[in-house]
Amino acid sequence: MSVIQFYFDFGSPNAYLSHKVIPDIEARTGAKFEYVPVLLGGIFKLTGNQSPGTAFAGIRNKPEYERLEMRRFIARHRLTAYKWNPHFPVNTLQLMRCAVAAQQLGILAPYVEAMYACMWEQERKMDDPAVFRQALLDAGLPADQLLELITTDAVKGGLMVNTEAAVAAGAFGSPSFLVGAELFFGKDRLRDVEEEVLRQAGGTATKA
Amino acid sequence: MSVIQFYFDFGSPNAYLSHKVIPDIEARTGAKFEYVPVLLGGIFKLTGNQSPGTAFAGIRNKPEYERLEMRRFIARHRLTAYKWNPHFPVNTLQLMRCAVAAQQLGILAPYVEAMYACMWEQERKMDDPAVFRQALLDAGLPADQLLELITTDAVKGGLMVNTEAAVAAGAFGSPSFLVGAELFFGKDRLRDVEEEVLRQAGGTATKA
C-alpha cells in the first residue's frame, strides 16, 4: 500500500481544505495519507519563505485570486462547513506540539479531526490556552495528559525533527505532500498527487 | 463556440508551455483560444507583482520546486523541443508590439508560432533588433512592414490597452486565461480551464 506524507499545520486553511478531500483520494487509490505534524512558521524560518498573506499583500489581484481559488475548491468539493477563522493568523506552536503528543498516545486521527473543526469550522481562538484546553475536553480527548506531554523535550524535539525533515524533502509551505521522493505543494496539486500514487503503484498510467 | 482569452507574453516560459498544449484542449472541447498580446512587465508594474525569478530568489526549495513542476509538465505533455533561453530575462516590448502589428495584418498565428520557437526552442536573443529581424525573415513574415508598424501609436497603444484589460480582468502574471468572467492563472490550471469551458457550455463536450 502506498503511503503519502502529508506535512500539515492547523494554521493553514489550505491544509484544512486538503484534509477534507483526503478520504476521497484514499478511497479511490487505496493509498494512505500519513499525517506528519510540522510547524509552518518553522518551515518559513528555515526556507526564508513567508505566508501568502504576507507575501502577496499589496499585490493587486493576487490575494483576490487566492481567495477565488479557495472558493472554487470549496464549491467543487462541497466543503460547506468551512469558515474563515477571525483570529487568523493563529500561533499554532502548542497545537502542533500537541499533535506530536497525540501521535505518541495513538490518538492523532481524532485529535486532527477535532482541531481542524475548531480552527476552520468553529472560529475558535486556538492559541488561547483556555480555549485550547476546552476544545480538547469538548472532543473527549485526554486534555491533562496531552498538555503535560507538550512540555516534554521528546514532543518539542519531535515537532522540530518533523519540520526539518519536511524542508529536507523540499517543502517550503503548506500543504505539502510527499509521494515516494516526489514533493507536491498546494491543495491544487492533489490531482497530481493522486496520479503520482497510481503511477508509482504501476496502475493506470497517467503520464499522458 | 466558447472563446478563451489567453493573455500571453513571449518572455514567459510557462506561457510557451501552455501554448503547446492549447491545440489539444481546443480539439477536446471545441473551444477556441484567443491570443491576446500583453506586456508582462506592464502587468507587473500595474499590480506591484514580480516575476517568480525575482520573488522566489533566496527562498529555499521554492525555485527548485518551480523548476520541478516545469519538468513534470514538459514530461507529461512530451514537449521535447523546449529549451531554456540562456538570454532570459528577455525584454519583450518590441516582440509584443509586433504581435499587435501581426494581428492587424491577420498573421498573428504564424507570428506566435515562429516567435515562441525562437524564444523557447532555438535559444535566440530576441531583444537584439538584428536577431529579431532575422527571425521574422526566417519565418517568412513581412519583416519591414511589421517593424514599421510597431513604431505607430495604434500598435503601441493597442498593447497598452490589452495589458490594462488583462489587469482589469484580474490578471497579475503569466499565463492568464479568461473563460467568460472566470480568470485562471498558471499553466497548471489548464485542466480547470478545460473543465470550466465544458461547464459553461452546459456540461457536455462540444467537440464536433
pLDDT per residue as tens digits for the range B61-87? 999 999 999 999 999 999 999 999 999
| pLDDT tens readout for residues A123-146 | 999 999 999 999 999 999 999 999
pTM: 0.93
Q: How far apart are CA A112 and CA A135, in angstroms?
A: 12
Classify residue A205: in a domain, yes or no: no
Classify residue B205: in a domain, yes or no: no
Classify residue A208: in a domain, yes or no: no
Q: How far apart are CA A178 and CA A170, in angstroms?
A: 9
Q: How far apart are CA B51 and CA B181, in angstroms?
A: 25
Classify residue B79: in a domain, yes or no: yes
Q: Is-contact A102 A146, C-beta < 8 A?
A: yes
Q: How far apart are CA A72 and CA A75, in angstroms?
A: 5
Question: Quick one: pLDDT at residue B130?
Answer: 98
Question: Do A170 and B58 lie within an 8 Å CB cutoff?
Answer: no
Grid cell listed for B149: 508598424
Residue B31 has pLDDT above 70, yes or no: yes
Name chain A contacts of B170, Cβ cutoff 8 Å: 61, 64-65, 68
Name chain A contacts of B46, Cβ cutoff 8 Å: 60
Among A38, A40, A49, A61, the residue to mutate for chain B (most B Cβ within 10 A): A61
Q: Write down the ipTM of this complex.
A: 0.92
| pLDDT tens readout for residues A68-84 | 999 999 999 999 999 99
Residue A36 has pLDDT above 60, yes or no: yes
Question: Quick one: pLDDT at residue A208?
Answer: 36
Q: What is the mean pLDDT of residues A2-20?
A: 97
| pLDDT tens readout for residues A151-187 | 999 999 999 999 999 999 999 999 999 999 999 999 9
Element (H, E) at A178: strand A176-179
Q: What percent of chain A has pLDDT over 90?
A: 92
Q: What percent of chain A has pLDDT over 70?
A: 97
Among B61, B79, B163, the residue to mutate for chain A (most A Cβ within 10 A): B61
Question: Quick one: pLDDT at residue B205?
Answer: 45
The boundaries of the domain holding residue A8 are 3-200
Residue B140 has pLDDT above 90, yes or no: yes
Classify residue B208: in a domain, yes or no: no
CATH number (domain holding residue A135): 3.40.30.10
Classify residue B143: in a domain, yes or no: yes
Classify residue B207: in a domain, yes or no: no
CB atoms closer than 10 angstroms to residue A127: 16
Residue B146 has pLDDT above 80, yes or no: yes
Question: Do A58 and B76 lie within an 8 Å CB cutoff?
Answer: no
Number of domains in chain B: 1
Question: Do A170 and B64 lie within an 8 Å CB cutoff?
Answer: yes
Question: Quick one: pLDDT at residue B208?
Answer: 35
Confidence of residue B203 (pLDDT cuts 50, 70, 90): low
Q: Is A85 helix (H, G, I), strand (E, B) or coil?
A: coil
Grid cell listed for B105: 495584418
Classify residue B112: in a domain, yes or no: yes
Question: Do A65 and B172 lie within an 8 Å CB cutoff?
Answer: yes
Name chain A contacts of B47, Cβ cutoff 8 Å: 59-62
Question: Which residue, chain included where needed, has cell 477536446?
Answer: B28
Question: Quick one: pLDDT at residue A43?
Answer: 98
Strand partners for A3: A32
Name chain A contacts of B189, Cβ cutoff 8 Å: 188
Per-residue buried b or exposed e for A48-79, using 16+ beta carbons within 10 Å of the residue's own CB:
ebebbeebbeebbbbbebeebbbebbbeeeeb
Give alpha helix (H) positions in chain A.
13-29, 40-47, 52-55, 62-76, 93-104, 108-120, 129-138, 143-149, 153-168, 190-200
Residue A90 has pLDDT above 50, yes or no: yes
Confidence of residue B36 (pLDDT cuts 50, 70, 90): very high
Grid cell listed for B124: 535566440
**Single-letter amino acid, residue A74:** I
Q: How far apart are CA A29 and CA B116, in angstroms?
A: 39
Confidence of residue B207 (pLDDT cuts 50, 70, 90): very low
